[in-house]
Structure 1
Amino acid sequence: MYDNASIALYPENAIIGPDSFRQMAEHPNIHGIKASSGDLRLFHEYERIARETGGKAFIGNEKLMSKSISRHAVPSMANIFPQFCREFMDVIAEGSREQRREYQRCMDERGMRIYSDYTKIHGGIMYALKIRGICCSEPLGPDQELTCKEKKDIALYVSGLEDRMTRFSDQTM
């Protein structure tokens, strides 16, 4: 085991109970947990845990976005780069307008590539997670299968995005 290992979890097709969610959120090497159950009661429980653990738990579900944006809701990019998304939430809360715009621009620009112009969001997420060494399921449905070119583009963007986000975060925080 590594003392400094960073772990990102994306429990695809699974609902994590509050006790397990808390244990993972309190772990020092887990940057974030993104849960998208769509269950409003469970969302509020996760929200409470997120507040108690300093916002290390990420909540994301489009159906709940209007209620959750100020409560650590994050886009699907948090599955791939949870540390960046956590920093982005801090910038939204405390940063300058310029910092917010730069973080948003960085996320939007790369998101278009990873998600194949938003036509293969699930396929792009799963492939990017694998590139990052994060365990995940296979994309659901044949419409989410990536071409060789899409895979190559995603691999290039994910490696460049990781470097860009790390350098950007160091410069702005």
Structure 2
Amino acid sequence: MSSAYVALVTCFNDNESLNLDATRAQVRRQVAAGNNILCAGTNGDFTALTHDEKLSLTEAVLDEADGAVKVMVNAGMPATWETLQLARAFDRMGVDGIAVITPFFIACTQDGLERHFTTVADAVQTPVYLYDIPARTQNHIGPEIARKLAAHGNIAGIKDSGGAQETLAEYLAVGRETDGFDVYSGPDHLVLWSLRNGAAGCISGLGNVMPDTLAAIVRAFDAGDTAEAERQQKRYADFRTDLYALGFPPALVKRSLWCIDPSVGASRQPALLPDPAQDGKVRDILARYELL
């Protein structure tokens, strides 16, 4: 069976402190839809969270999910040393998977990336998933390094958030060559395409706003209902196109969810602030898709 993960938003109070009660409510929402969870990812404002906050956030998500769905958490930081501290802590918590985003700010060679991911995977028992998002980190896991890393006994797959079908196809080729190396698509418009081409599933930010549609794409694909899978994918992709035309995708996902449920709060600064004009455009889009 294919797996849909949602890169869960992190909820904040008005003073920007963590709102774990509201975050738990979002966990329950995804569990009800049947979606697995990635916490402390790009859509979870992980760069704005402290080390200890990531631990308390993960504890709350695990507790609320209570085994009903799988929980993966992102441990990736610029330095291997800090990534190791987080990965070991998550390993002790019993998460289902540890995602490791490529280092950001630090320019890495391909050999440097190989050492970084290998060091983390060697240090934990929990399966490690590579996380490639070069537009945000400026570091890209090339297919040859992905192939080498796929042979590591504790590197179980990769999340591709590059946005290009070509790159995703390269990772899927690695997955076909290597048993136990799963590919998860990040781009929301490629969910169905990736499943048809051998992906194990997807990890989606837009699923915060449309959890049932995301689940429906995967469910219809697994059931062999091509027409329904295509219908749900079109709805998902059309919403993505309309929403992301307004600006930075993670900020707009959070803002859309805020329009539906203000308890999620705004993101920590200097992220997108409430703006009546933009919120009006977001609400118009949400209404068009019957999400309000």
Q: Which has the larger radius of gyration?
A: 2
* Letter of the structure 1 residue corresponding to residue 184 of structure 2: S
Please state if 1:98 is matched with 2:220. no
Residue matched to 1:24 = 65
User: Does the C-alpha gap of structure 1 residues 19 and 68 become closer, same or farther in structure 2, counting only changes over 3 Å?
Assistant: farther
Match of 2:254, SS? Answer: helix
Match of 2:96, SS? Answer: helix
| Larger CA deviation: 12-21 vs 98-107 | 12-21
TM-score w.r.t. length of structure 1: 0.58
Whole-Å separation in 2 of the counterparts to 1:99 and 1:37: 32
Whole-Å separation in 2 of the counterparts to 1:97 and 1:72: 16
Runs of at least 4 residues off by over 6 Å? 41-44
Residue matched to 1:158 = 286
Residue matched to 2:29 = 8
- Superposition RMSD in Å: 4.2
User: Does the C-alpha gap of structure 1 residues 133 and 146 become closer, same or farther in structure 2, counting only changes over 3 Å?
Assistant: closer
User: Does the C-alpha gap of structure 1 residues 95 and 71 become closer, same or farther in structure 2, counting only changes over 3 Å?
Assistant: same
CA contact (8 A) 1:126 1:138 kept: yes
Higher helix fraction: Structure 1 or Structure 2?
1
Q: CA deviation at 1:110?
A: 1.0
Q: How many residues align?
A: 144
Residue matched to 2:96 = 46
CA contact (8 A) 1:112 1:118 kept: no
C-alpha deviations, 1:144-163, integer Å up to 9, x for none? Answer: 44654331121122233245
CA contact (8 A) 1:131 1:155 kept: yes
Query: Quick one: which of 114, 118, 121 aligns to 2:243?
Result: 114
Higher strand fraction: Structure 1 or Structure 2?
2
Whole-Å separation in 2 of the counterparts to 1:123 and 1:97: 32
CA contact (8 A) 2:72 2:95 kept: no
* Letter of the structure 2 residue corresponding to residue 138 of structure 1: A
Residue matched to 1:56 = none
CA contact (8 A) 1:18 1:46 kept: no
Match of 1:73, SS? Answer: strand
TM-score w.r.t. length of structure 2: 0.38
Whole-Å separation in 2 of the counterparts to 1:105 and 1:79: 17
CA contact (8 A) 2:62 2:71 kept: no
Whole-Å separation in 1 of the counterparts to 2:212 and 2:204: 13
C-alpha deviations, 1:94-117, integer Å up to 9, x for none? Answer: 2432222211110111112222x2
| Uncovered stretches (5+) of structure 1, i.e. residues with no partner | 48-58, 165-173
CA contact (8 A) 2:218 2:229 kept: no
| Uncovered stretches (5+) of structure 2, i.e. residues with no partner | 1-24, 31-38, 47-53, 77-86, 98-128, 134-157, 161-182, 186-198
